């Protein structure tokens, strides 16, 4: 206990010093505040000491609350997993990140955090993925089972995605999850209302969680047994959070005045209070369980005996041990240089030795031994905490359902291609086994039915299909069993993207290569975009299929239409976005996605599909051009003055207009854009290379090269026209970009295409305007 307490003090010092150094000592040319959260770090230091140096095992996976990043960096520094240089460059380019980051801080970070609540919720979905991996025997033989731990701020419990995750976790009976809530009762702008904590307990219990409330430390519990102690406990139980925080900041004299005012009639209470100095009284009244190592170790050890999900509501003080403790403005507050000098003296740190790991410790050899022997200190792998899994072989071509000559949509084509993979012929058996699908209650309407019927739904315990048992005909077989490969979710897009994020990290978390596919209605990508952004930030690998999309979902109207998703596909980092017009393009894209998701330099992939039925052409495609972002459906003549470019479902309107345009402009070209995202990324990369003096040539530059320098491009897509407007900058050509920039009306496809100026007539008008303007002097 003494050694753990020494580590706790060392972590508090290193976290506070790291932030102080960044703001007051390191050169700062702009003079702007660098930031950091010394008070938030102080409230959680004891909790993290008890976890990392006692309770956690090497295989456990942890999400640390964003504002505790300096404590996590300090822990890794003491364990030899973080460099001094990165600590000294905290919140600076190349330094330790402001918030824990898998992609930037390295292999010691299990889950990135930063968008509050998401780092908490993903631990529940990661536990579900661990169950899936174990049930399918996809991980390394004999791999130890992980516990998934989230260290959360109490204000994070305001986030709705946490309760969506609780509900999904209850449905899937998740196990081995701990949420350790740092109940310091202060957020950025306010002190949290007292009555919320009772509500939290009820919500967790209703979802099958064990609730461990850790309110008072051992010294306070002992005081409660003394004469007058019951009155003191009742006073503390009823003390408003705001009053408690204020008294903590004011210190022992303020505590004495308040206690005697309210408890002075109790002889026992007066004697108890009077037996203590101001400093001793302040120490007693702030002896909360979240800062009591003995209480925490006992609680964590007891909970480890069960796999039941457990939430620890650990009461703490924001800024504990610092002069900022309890002040309502301490969230972004920083100690002054004078306060830091005093703190350094209290910690027995010599000037110039602030970064020494063992400086100021009474028994450094004991600390060194504990740092070596703590279970978590054992390396999970020689390279850190990340496992590895071999790539799943992807056949040179995906199985081919009959497509050419049929009338079908890309949404239907997706379902049929996936169904063919699900047959698990010899060449696709490994691929089929690695795929896991999920959807927020729209699996049937996004064409996953055939896949589900072939591969089944996942559940930890087998559950019969009641409809089939009672001979009720249904399109979907609801057989649920441990070997199923579809995870059914409720209507919560945030949950879908958190699940995809967890599944897309399975190769590094559990040594199992999964190829997750999530389907969702295209407009509702917006509802889950925060979690999608979060999954991409972690470099999770998955295939997102959003369908049906755009104004083409004509009769639905309202919020079932979206115009902005093609733009999201362009701007989202670590996500390659494609939109096919025809199913032969889709088949190429799906094959590429399964391979690209596994490449070290790859990413997640997004396919935006449509329910518009089109006649499927029989043709030979250049797969490389499809993946690069564009191919000529009809190549232009050299020096052509006009090209029509289409994306996705607008192919039919563009083809009709093109047939008429060619009567007037015989050399015009018809361009199929399959990914403005890939085109723009390639163009930007070519520009960078040229700026660096290297040879660089973008696919879009090659594609547009046959056109005259003054040629016009008329583009159309079922999405915001800004997705194409940038094409004019590639060669200085004029672009007439068509597409809906409004949405919300019901009607037929023809009516809405006409209403939003994206039909054949609108394309022809744009071509005429472009040619007329080109002829003007």
pLDDT value at residue 473: 63
**DSSP-derived 3-state class of residue 308:** coil
Distance of CA 225 to the CA centre of its chain: 47
Average pLDDT (115-137) is 96
pLDDT-based confidence at residue 188 (cuts at 50, 70, 90): very low
* Residue in the structure block whose two tokens are 């441990």: 482
pLDDT-based confidence at residue 567 (cuts at 50, 70, 90): very high
pLDDT value at residue 606: 98
Residue spans of beta strands (DSSP E) within 154-293 = 177-183, 210-214
**Residue 405, phi-psi category: left (phi > 0), alpha (psi -120 to 50), beta (remainder):** left
**Pairing, β 486-489 against β 575-578:** unpaired
Distance CA 671, CA 259 (A): 79
- The DSSP bridge partners found for residue 148 are 61, 177
Helices 118-136 and 529-537 pack at an angle, to 10 degrees, of 70
pLDDT-based confidence at residue 775 (cuts at 50, 70, 90): low
pLDDT value at residue 565: 96
Dihedral angle of Cα 487, 489, 493, 499, to the nearest 10 degrees? -40
Percent of the chain with pLDDT over 70: 97
pLDDT value at residue 252: 93
Distance CA 15, CA 99 (A): 13
pLDDT value at residue 199: 79
Torsion sign (Cα): 363, 367, 369, 375:
positive
With beta carbons less than 8 A apart as the criterion, state whether 166 and 117 touch. no
In the predicted structure, residue 483 carries a pLDDT above the cut 50: yes
pLDDT value at residue 469: 67
Dihedral angle of Cα 94, 97, 98, 102, to the nearest 10 degrees? 150
With beta carbons less than 8 A apart as the criterion, state whether 582 and 617 touch. yes
Q: What angle (nearest 5°) sits at the alpha carbon of residue 361, between those of residues 358 and 365?
A: 65
User: Which carries the bigger pLDDT value, residue 465 or residue 420?
Assistant: 420
pLDDT-based confidence at residue 777 (cuts at 50, 70, 90): very low
DSSP for residue 290: G
Average pLDDT (463-484) is 77
In the predicted structure, residue 272 carries a pLDDT above the cut 90: yes
Phi first, then psi, for residue 48 (nearest 5°) are: -70, -30
Residues sharing a CB contact under 8 Å with residue 729, sequence separation 6 or more, in sequence order:
none
Segment 634-673, tens digit of pLDDT? 999 999 999 999 999 999 999 999 999 999 999 999 999 9
pLDDT value at residue 758: 96
Residues sharing a CB contact under 8 Å with residue 143, sequence separation 6 or more, in sequence order:
59, 510, 511
Average pLDDT (677-693) is 97
In the predicted structure, residue 192 carries a pLDDT above the cut 60: no
* Residue in the structure block whose two tokens are 């899937």: 172
With beta carbons less than 8 A apart as the criterion, state whether 213 and 256 touch. no
- The DSSP bridge partners found for residue 642 are 712
Segment 518-541, tens digit of pLDDT? 999 999 999 999 999 999 999 999
Distance CA 538, CA 386 (A): 13
- The DSSP bridge partners found for residue 671 are 632, 645
Instruction: Dig out the tokens for 753 from the structure.
Output: 């295409």
Average pLDDT (590-595) is 98
Average pLDDT (310-315) is 96
Q: What angle (nearest 5°) sits at the alpha carbon of residue 59, between those of residues 55 and 60?
A: 50
Q: What angle (nearest 5°) sits at the alpha carbon of residue 408, between those of residues 405 and 413?
A: 105
DSSP for residue 21: I
pLDDT value at residue 195: 61
205, containing H or E segment: helix 196-206
The pTM score is 0.94
Distance CA 46, CA 6 (A): 11
With beta carbons less than 8 A apart as the criterion, state whether 653 and 629 touch. no
In the predicted structure, residue 684 carries a pLDDT above the cut 70: yes
pLDDT value at residue 467: 65
Average pLDDT (588-610) is 98
Q: For residue 539, give the nearest of 101, 94, 93 by alpha carbon.
A: 101
pLDDT-based confidence at residue 232 (cuts at 50, 70, 90): very high
With beta carbons less than 8 A apart as the criterion, state whether 531 and 498 touch. yes
Q: Which residues of 600-610 are buried (b: 16+ CB within 10 A; e: fewer)?
A: eebbbbbbbbb
In the predicted structure, residue 14 carries a pLDDT above the cut 80: yes
Distance CA 742, CA 564 (A): 10
Average pLDDT (28-54) is 95
* Half-sphere CA count of 243, side-chain side, radius 13 A: 12
With beta carbons less than 8 A apart as the criterion, state whether 771 and 765 touch. no
Distance CA 245, CA 71 (A): 23
Q: State the average pLDDT for the chain.
A: 94
Q: For residue 403, give the nearest of 389, 388, 414, 392 by alpha carbon.
A: 414
- The DSSP bridge partners found for residue 63 are 150
**Residue 542, phi-psi category: left (phi > 0), alpha (psi -120 to 50), beta (remainder):** beta
Segment 48-102, tens digit of pLDDT? 999 999 999 999 999 999 999 999 999 999 999 999 999 999 999 999 999 999 9
Segment 426-445, tens digit of pLDDT? 889 999 999 999 999 999 99
In the predicted structure, residue 185 carries a pLDDT above the cut 80: no
User: Which carries the bigger pLDDT value, residue 138 or residue 328?
Assistant: 138
pLDDT value at residue 197: 65
Distance CA 303, CA 149 (A): 12
Distance CA 82, CA 231 (A): 48
**Pairing, β 640-647 against β 669-673:** parallel
pLDDT-based confidence at residue 774 (cuts at 50, 70, 90): low
Average pLDDT (593-603) is 97
With beta carbons less than 8 A apart as the criterion, state whether 590 and 421 touch. no
**DSSP-derived 3-state class of residue 145:** coil
Distance CA 702, CA 644 (A): 16
pLDDT value at residue 56: 97
Q: For residue 643, give the nearest of 721, 652, 633, 653 by alpha carbon.
A: 633
**DSSP-derived 3-state class of residue 193:** coil
pLDDT value at residue 425: 84
Percent of the chain with pLDDT over 90: 85
* Half-sphere CA count of 342, side-chain side, radius 13 A: 7
């Amino acid at each position: 206990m003494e050694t753990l307490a020494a580590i706790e003090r060392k972590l508090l010092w290193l976290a506070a010093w790291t932030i102080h150094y960044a703001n007051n000592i390191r050169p700062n040319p702009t003079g702007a505040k660098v930031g950091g959260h010394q008070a938030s770090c102080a409230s959680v230091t004891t909790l993290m000491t008890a976890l990392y140096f006692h309770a956690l095992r090497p295989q456990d996976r942890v999400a640390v609350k964003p504002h505790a990043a300096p404590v996590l960096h300090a822990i890794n520094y003491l364990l030899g997993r973080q460099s001094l240089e990165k600590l000294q460059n905290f919140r600076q380019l190349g330094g330790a990140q402001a918030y824990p980051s898998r992609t930037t801080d390295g292999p010691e970070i299990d889950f990135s955090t930063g968008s509050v609540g998401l780092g908490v919720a993903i631990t529940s979905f990661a536990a579900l993925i661990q169950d899936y991996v174990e049930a399918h025997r996809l991980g390394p033989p004999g791999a130890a089972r992980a516990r998934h731990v989230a260290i959360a701020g109490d204000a994070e419990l305001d986030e709705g995605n946490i309760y969506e995750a609780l509900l999904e976790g209850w449905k899937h009976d998740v196990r081995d999850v701990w949420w350790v809530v740092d109940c310091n009762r202060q957020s950025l702008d306010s002190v949290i209302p007292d009555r919320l904590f009772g509500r939290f307990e009820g919500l967790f219990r209703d979802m099958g969680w064990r609730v461990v409330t850790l309110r008072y430390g051992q010294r306070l519990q002992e005081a409660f047994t003394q004469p007058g102690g019951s009155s003191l406990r009742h006073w503390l139980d009823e003390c408003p959070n705001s009053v408690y925080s204020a008294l903590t900041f004011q210190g022992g004299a303020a505590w004495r005045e308040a206690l005697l005012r309210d408890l002075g009639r109790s002889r026992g209470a007066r004697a108890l209070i009077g037996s203590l100095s101001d400093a001793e009284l302040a120490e007693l009244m702030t002896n909360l369980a979240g800062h009591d190592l003995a209480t925490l170790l006992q609680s964590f050890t007891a909970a480890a005996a069960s796999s039941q999900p457990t939430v620890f509501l650990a009461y703490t003080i924001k800024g504990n041990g610092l002069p900022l403790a309890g002040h309502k403005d301490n969230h972004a507050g920083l100690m002054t240089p004078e306060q830091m000098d005093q703190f350094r003296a209290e910690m027995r740190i010599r000037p110039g030795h602030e970064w020494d790991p063992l400086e100021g410790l009474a028994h450094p050899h004991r600390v060194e031994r504990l740092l070596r022997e703590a279970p978590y200190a054992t390396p999970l792998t020689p390279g850190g905490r990340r496992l590895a899994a071999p790539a799943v072989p992807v056949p040179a071509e995906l199985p081919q359902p009959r497509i050419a000559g049929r009338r079908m949509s890309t949404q239907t084509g997706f379902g049929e291609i996936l169904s063919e993979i699900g047959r698990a012929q010899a060449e696709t058996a490994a691929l089929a086994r690695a795929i896991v699908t999920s959807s927020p209650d729209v699996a049937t309407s996004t064409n996953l039915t055939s896949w589900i019927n072939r591969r089944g739904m996942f559940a930890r315990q087998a559950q019969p299909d009641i409809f089939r048992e009672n001979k009720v005909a249904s399109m979907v077989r609801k057989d649920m069993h441990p070997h199923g490969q579809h995870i059914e979710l409720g209507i919560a897009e945030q949950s879908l993207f958190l699940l995809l994020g967890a599944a897309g990290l399975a190769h590094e978390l559990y040594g199992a290569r999964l190829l997750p596919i999530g389907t969702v209605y295209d407009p509702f990508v917006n509802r889950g975009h925060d979690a999608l952004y979060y999954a991409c930030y972690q470099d999770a690998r998955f295939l997102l299929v959003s369908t049906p999309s755009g104004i083409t979902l004509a009769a639905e109207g309202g919020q079932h239409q979206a115009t902005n998703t093609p733009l999201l596909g362009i701007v989202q980092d670590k996500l390659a976005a494609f939109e096919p017009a025809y199913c032969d393009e889709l088949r190429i894209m799906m094959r590429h996605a399964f391979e690209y998701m596994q490449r070290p330099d790859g990413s997640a992939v997004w396919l935006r599909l449509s329910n518009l039925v089109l006649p499927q052409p029989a043709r030979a495609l250049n797969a490389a051009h499809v993946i690069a972002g564009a191919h000529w459906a009809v190549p232009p003549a050299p020096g052509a003055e006009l090209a029509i470019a289409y994306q996705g479902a607008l192919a039919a309107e563009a083809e009709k207009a093109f047939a008429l345009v060619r009567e007037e402009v015989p050399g015009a070209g018809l361009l199929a854009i399959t990914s403005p995202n890939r085109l723009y990324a390639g163009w930007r990369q070519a520009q960078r290379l040229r700026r660096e003096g290297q040879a660089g040539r973008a696919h879009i530059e090659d594609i547009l090269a046959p056109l005259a320098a003054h040629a016009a491009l008329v583009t159309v897509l079922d999405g915001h026209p800004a997705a194409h407007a940038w094409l004019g900058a590639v060669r200085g050509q004029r672009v007439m970009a068509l597409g809906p920039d409004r949405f919300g009306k019901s009607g037929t496809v023809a009516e809405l295409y006409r209403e939003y100026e994206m039909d054949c007539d609108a394309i022809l008008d744009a071509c005429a305007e472009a040619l007329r303007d080109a002829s003007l002097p």
